[in-house]
């Protein structure tokens, strides 16, 4: 069992040690009071009923009633505070997980399927909650009950006690044997469930592609394969669970047989009593009941430790960005310099090579090139999503690696071709929850040319948009993204093929808005439509990761190189 993963999460538990101590204390007292009930039952039968002492029977019965009430009250306290601690611990783990998730390097999300990440933050963390309340606390309660049961069995009649619990070591041995097998079985169950979640997420996201290319049958077959793996793994874990429980039950029946056989013989010979046999019956149920439930506890424990392992591996295998908050804070004016920058996603396979580029405040730099030339990679380097493999990037003369990314990105904004719209109001999608006045939001929308469209919506700026903006058109989403960039008033703006998915009519509508967006800012425009970059201060032509041409539109048209080829080809197709 991988107990080292429990150690990694121990600080979360220690934060609420007062609640956990109260839970454990109430558990201890309730176990003692519960264990005293059979002892008083023996006392009533052997001492008071046999001697016909009615008052003593009544008094002892009242004591048993009080002990039962105390046990009930303490169990409620145990459950309430145990669950309270558990929910607070899980909240902290979820918040910390999500905080780390948002600080991971961007390549993590290119490598890890989103379905896998969602499984970690939902199912796996919930399994850890089960570990605390239905696993550890319940297991400790059972162990206390077992301890007190053995104590009273040996205290009341050591000889009969030893005979009655003689099958116990075999029951414990079988529990460990099946427990180890269940650990491996539940690991496979978790893996199979993760594969199902990943496939489900991908299928739903790409459902239109699946339907258009009539790939439903193959997609279903793949899901069916994952479902069969899950069914087989889960069935095996259930069978191991049943075998463990039934093995314990067999040992319990054997103990009961020994109790009645030897207890009866001892009672007939005067070396034991009827009250002892009755009390022993209760104590054996205290003993084997928890061992029978151990299969369920072990299932919860193994499931939770498996989830702990997966969460821990995910958090340790993926790196957080460096200098998110630490590092030098500068107010960028838009002066950027790239010196001999190279970058590769994989070793010895450069996507960019020896990039030298310089921008000054207020300049518009356009980047063009074939698909796969490295245009978006260059933008991601400037945004500090990736570190150069070699070479340096400078902002205002300061090396990018020494700067606080959080402060640096306050001066930057990006508008992508595939813009993301969050579930929420139009206002929330423009401000992203930041404190902007209504006047600022409306002013930005008017400059972009999206205000009239927003006002035609049912609730204007308070209209709820669906996830990914599915209840508005692609062009309208893009207009909202432009308004978002403008309201944040960045010093540096990157447009990554921002108008590539917009029709010519919509592009004409927002042309004025784009001019407003670029006014007074350093802008880097990755262009698909070359008509949008004719007035750029510098046009950079990338080919196979290298800068092959730079200049103004007029200069590059005169040289009749690659840019000329792009331009004439594009306009000959119009």
Beta-sheet pairing, 398-399 with 390-395: antiparallel
Confidence (pTM) = 0.67
Asked if residue 301 lies in contact with residue 139, where contact means CB atoms within 8 angstroms, the answer is: yes
Rg (the chain; Cα; Å): 35
d(CA 407, CA 326): 9
Asked if residue 384 lies in contact with residue 107, where contact means CB atoms within 8 angstroms, the answer is: no
d(CA 479, CA 37): 74
d(CA 94, CA 100): 10
d(CA 54, CA 360): 101
Q: Which pair of tokens denotes residue 55? A: 């008052």
What domains does the chain contain, in order, with CATH numbers?
4-317 (1.20.1560.10)
Residue of 180, 199, 198 lying closest to 305 (CA atoms): 180
Residue of 183, 178, 219, 185 lying closest to 202 (CA atoms): 219
Sorted by sequence, the CB contacts under 8 Å of residue 23 that are 6+ apart come out as 77, 78, 81, 82, 85, 137
Q: Which pair of tokens denotes residue 151? A: 């104590």
What pLDDT tens digit does each residue of the chain (574 aa) get? 456 666 777 888 888 889 989 988 998 898 888 888 898 888 888 888 877 788 888 888 888 899 899 999 998 998 888 888 888 888 888 888 888 888 777 777 777 777 677 777 777 877 777 776 666 777 788 888 888 888 999 999 999 989 988 888 888 888 777 777 777 787 788 788 878 878 887 777 777 677 776 777 888 888 888 888 888 888 888 888 788 778 888 888 898 899 889 988 888 888 888 888 998 988 888 888 777 676 667 667 777 777 788 888 788 777 777 767 677 877 777 888 999 999 988 777 888 999 898 888 888 898 988 888 888 888 888 888 888 888 899 888 888 888 888 788 888 888 877 778 888 899 998 998 888 898 999 988 888 888 888 899 889 999 988 877 788 887 788 888 888 888 888 888 888 876 665 666 666 666 766 777 777 788 888 876 676 788 888 999 988 889 999 998 898 899 888 888 888 877 554 4
Q: Give me the DSSP letters along 301-350.
A: HHHHHHHHHHHHHHHHHSPBPTTSSSSB-----S-EEEEEEEEEEETTEE
Asked if residue 529 lies in contact with residue 414, where contact means CB atoms within 8 angstroms, the answer is: no
* Cross-strand pairs, 369: 542
* Cross-strand pairs, 494: 414, 524
C-beta contacts of 198-205 below 8 A and 24+ residues apart: 198/113, 198/115, 198/116, 198/119, 199/115, 199/223, 199/226, 200/115, 201/113, 201/114, 201/115, 201/118, 202/113, 202/115
Cα 321 versus chain centre, distance: 18
């Amino acid at each position: 069992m991988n107990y080292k993963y429990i150690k990694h999460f121990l600080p979360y538990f220690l934060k609420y040690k007062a609640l956990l101590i109260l839970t454990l204390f109430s558990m201890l007292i309730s176990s003692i009071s519960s264990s005293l009930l059979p002892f008083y039952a023996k006392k009533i039968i052997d001492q008071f009923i046999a001697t016909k002492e009615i008052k003593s029977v009544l008094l002892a019965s009242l004591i048993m009633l009080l002990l039962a009430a105390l046990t009930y009250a303490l169990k409620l306290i145990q459950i309430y505070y145990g669950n309270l601690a558990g929910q607070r611990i899980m909240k902290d783990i979820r918040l910390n997980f999500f905080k780390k998730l948002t600080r991971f390097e961007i390549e993590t999300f290119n490598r890890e399927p989103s379905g896998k990440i969602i499984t970690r933050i939902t199912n796996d963390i919930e399994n850890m909650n089960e570990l605390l309340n239905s696993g550890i606390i319940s297991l400790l309660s059972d162990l206390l009950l077992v301890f007190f049961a053995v104590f009273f069995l040996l205290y009341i009649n050591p000889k009969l006690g030893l005979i009655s619990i003689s099958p116990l070591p075999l029951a414990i041995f079988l529990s460990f044997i099946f427990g180890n097998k269940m650990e491996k079985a539940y690991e496979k169950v978790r893996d199979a469930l993760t594969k199902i979640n990943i496939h489900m997420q991908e299928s739903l996201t790409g459902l239109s592609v699946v339907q258009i290319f009539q790939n439903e049958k193959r997609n279903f077959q793949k899901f069916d394969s994952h479902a069969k793996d899950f069914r087989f793994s889960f069935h095996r874990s259930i069978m191991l669970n049943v075998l463990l429980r039934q093995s314990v039950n067999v040992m319990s029946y054997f103990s009961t047989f020994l109790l009645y056989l030897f207890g009866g013989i001892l009672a007939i010979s005067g070396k034991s009593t009827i009250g002892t046999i009755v009390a022993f019956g209760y104590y054996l149920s205290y003993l084997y009941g928890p061992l029978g439930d151990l299969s369920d506890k072990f299932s919860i424990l193994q499931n939770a430790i498996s989830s702990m392992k997966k969460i821990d591996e995910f958090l340790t295998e993926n790196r957080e960005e460096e200098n998110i908050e630490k590092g030098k804070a500068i107010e960028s004016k838009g002066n950027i310099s790239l010196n001999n920058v190279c970058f590769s996603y994989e070793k010895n396979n450069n996507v960019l090579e020896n990039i030298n580029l310089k921008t000054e405040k207020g300049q518009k730099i356009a980047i063009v090139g074939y698909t796969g030339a490295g245009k978006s990679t260059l933008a991601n380097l400037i945004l500090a999503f990736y570190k150069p493999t070699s070479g340096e990037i400078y902002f205002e003369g300061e090396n990018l690696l020494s700067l606080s990314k959080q402060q640096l990105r306050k001066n930057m904004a990006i508008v992508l071709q595939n813009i993301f719209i969050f579930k929420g109001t139009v206002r929330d999608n423009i401000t992203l929850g930041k404190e902007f006045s209504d006047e600022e939001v409306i002013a930005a929308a008017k400059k972009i040319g999206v205000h009239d469209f927003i006002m035609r919506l049912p609730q204007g700026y308070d209209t709820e948009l669906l996830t990914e903006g599915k209840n508005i058109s692609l062009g309208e989403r893009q207009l909202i993204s432009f308004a978002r960039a403008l309201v944040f008033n960045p010093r540096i703006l990157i447009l990554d093929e921002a108008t590539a998915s917009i029709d010519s009519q919509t592009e004409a509508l927002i042309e004025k808005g784009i001019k407003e967006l670029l006014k007074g800012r350093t802008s880097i425009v990755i262009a698909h439509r070359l008509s949008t970059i004719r007035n750029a201060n510098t046009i950079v032509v990338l080919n196979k990761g290298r800068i092959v041409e730079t200049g103004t539109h007029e200069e590059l048209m005169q040289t009749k190189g690659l840019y000329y080829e792009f331009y004439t080809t594009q306009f000959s197709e119009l």
